Structure 1
Amino acid sequence: MSQPGPTPPPPLASDYTTYGVPQIPAGQQYGDGQYPGQFGASQQFPAPPQKSFLTTWLLSLFLGGLGVDRFYLGKIGTGIAKLLTAGGLGVWSLVDLIITLAGKQTDKNRQPLAGYRQHKVLAIVVSAVLVVGGMVIGMVSGAVAALAIQSAATSPIISAAPVTNEPAAAANSSEAPASAEATAGEDRPLLDAQTLAGTGDDIKTVDLKGLPAVVTLTCSACKGNTVLETNGAEMLLVNTVGGYTGSHLVDTSTGSPTTEFSISADAAWTLKIEDVDTIATSAGKASGHGDKVLYWDAPGTKAAITNKGAGNFLVEGFGSEIPELAVNKIGAYSGTVQLTPGFVQVKSEGDWTITAK
């Protein structure tokens, strides 16, 4: 009879678990964004959401100078730098806008912006319109402001009516003797008349004694470009082609005085310089051809003006404290405008009329 041996241990149950030891499925490990799930399955951390291209573009376009677009993208350091430098004086803001429109802008994690393909055409068109339009508006506003400042600083000094006894003034039925107010100009010194002459291009030095004057350029035989310039405030008086005869006001304000006349011509010419008191007075109606200076003595401040010339037509009045640009058109013109009584400069390439209303 055999002897009983040692009792074998009970078999291990199939659901036996070793406590305290994590069970990792074969082929999987910690790290690289993986971790064991509830049932041992591998999972990844979710990627951060993409920033919106539309939002980035709008912030760059309207608030780029404050660095708001870079703050939105999570680029805090460069956003602060952009804010403190006012968008790099505008250059940085423009560069960021271009990069965004080109689809090269990314967030702090270097992820591309969402929605670029859907909105890029609209963004490019709107940006171009706003940027170019802003530049044009800025230039126009600057020019208008400069003209306003200049007008305010250089008020006209030829406000008194001229005194004239020239026979030609009485012979013209459309011209009347100067009004009683003309005596206001008798106390001031008068500019002596002088005539300069030459052939071809030349520069003439003059002394107008700080007084306003009327100059008449005549070059009947000219065939090429004919130009009359001054170094005073009026600068370019004549720029035409062919024969020319016309008169212009100079030193009408307290701006830069004229000391030189520059003439460009291809034939013999004359330049007559006279005091403004020699200008004929027109009452009720005036007419002429080409460039001319007149004294407008009308009962009101409205005038009906016509022009039959093909080029630039300009009517500028000096009767008020600030010069009035009554008409500035190209080609034929007919209309009623405000024109304060006083000296008037007309520039035309044809026949024109001015009638009081």
Structure 2
Amino acid sequence: MSVSPPPAPYMAPPVPAAADASDDGKSFLVTWLLSLLVGIFGVDRFYLGKVGTGLLKLFTFGGLGIWYLVDLILILAGAMRDKAGHRLDGYDKTKLIAWIVTGALVLVGGISGAVNGASGEASGGGTSRAGVVDGLEKTADVAEELVDGALEDAAAEETPAVEEPAESASASWANSTWGEFAPIQQSGAGDTIIDLPAGATGGVVVATHNGSSNFAVSVLDANNGSTGELLVNTIGAYSGTTAWGISALGDGVKLQVTADGDWTFDIRPMGSAPALAAEGVGDAVFVYDGDAASLTAAHTGSSNFVVMQENSDVFNLGLLVNEIGTYSGTVPLSGGPSVVTIRADGNWSLAVG
């Protein structure tokens, strides 16, 4: 006895794509501008792929202006489709601008003058083609100004004004303590001397080095004597942020750089340091505005890990952490305003709690 194969499973017929969807839809904004400015010559219909009616519109000068107005109204109403029947892309987003600009042009009579010029030429009147073109050019100029203004207004409405953040208490305190100055950027290679900003007693130093030997940065006074601050002392490549003037034994006026490769320096006011971060890698400088709290710190490097805090308290020792290699622990953190510096060769994390 033969066994009949089971019936094939039912499969629903494919659903045709919606007529409004298009991977290559025509732009409403482009179509409207073409219709507004040169629609009397059928350019808008050429753009939509409707070549036949575009030619007819061209030869009749927009149907003596009537066809021109009808197409413009259809486009503004969202009823115009391309040759494939797809809706114009971006209609909902820019229709308000299009209506405002078109209405303004009607009020100033720009469109009316262009249409009347075309009608006069088609009927054998005294208005020449040059008059039509001149009218269209004037219309285009007015339209361009109105479009620009409308787009600027729309952008202003969509994008709220961004207010500059107020200077933090720590930033203000740091700038008043060590001085403000215009940032200094320098780049070069090998050993050099870099002058620090005149009048400032401290600041932030962002440095990079791509050599393979010793890279050291120390602070010197006016007599080329050491102020006791060795900002960087490492081998090979380096990228980090340090600060001068916090624990100096004298007034620093220049940096002595020892290097075998290319380097860059960005010297900024102390108040430009960012707020205390939760994590990072390598040397860093921050400002801290918060209250006295516990600071939980961790480090995964192999060299010295130092966390210092400088504030207005003369009895504050400032040294929070000073360990070699990996570290994990909790120490007391004084209230701000203050500057926190980190010296590290690996990843670190800070949690204030």
TM-score (norm 2): 0.47
Higher helix share: 2
TM-score (norm 1): 0.46
